[in-house]
Amino acid sequence: MFSHVYFGTNDIEKSKAFYDAALTPLGYSKAQPYPAGIMYVKPEGGSTVIIAPPADGKAATYGNGHTLGFIAADYAAVDAFHADGVAAGGADEGEPGFRPNSPGNMYGAYLRDPYGNKICAYAPNVGPKE
């Protein structure tokens, strides 16, 4: 579990459209105000996702090898995360499916946000997808 993650952006509105679409199926709130940006929280508490310009005033870029994984309630939430994220301007980085290299062959999907940050969602493996 993490307390928060901060993704840099050069365009709040473009990032807002993407993260509103991708994180809603995972149980996060729609965008809420945050100094110089926006944030997403889970209503029951827990981790916060912050989207804002970098604090150093330089352009936002992504880190190679960095991936942030979100917990999804079920396979349908992973599917919605991926489809809604792509529809909102994200790029497919791995379609929904079982990942043999993950612990327990979990079901997950990967996206790149509008600035190249890599995120994924995984659901507990509860058997074959229907």
Write out pLDDT tens, residues 5-50.
Answer: 889 999 999 999 999 999 999 999 999 998 889 999 987 777 889 9
Which pLDDT score is estimated for 39? 93
Residue 109 has pLDDT above 60, yes or no: yes
Which pLDDT score is estimated for 48? 87
Domain interval for residue 80: 4-53+62-123
CA distance 40 to 114: 17
> Is residue 105 within 8 Å of 125, Cβ to Cβ?
yes
Instruction: Please check whether residue 130 lies inside any domain of the structure.
Output: no
Amino acid found at 2: F
Number of domains in the chain: 1
Which pLDDT score is estimated for 2? 64
CATH code for position 83:
3.10.180.10
The model carries a pTM of 0.82
Residue 1 has pLDDT above 60, yes or no: no
DSSP labels for 64-108?
A: TT-EEEEE-SSHHHHHHHHHHHHHTT-EEEEEEEE-TTSTTS-EE
Judged by DSSP in three states, 10 sits in coil
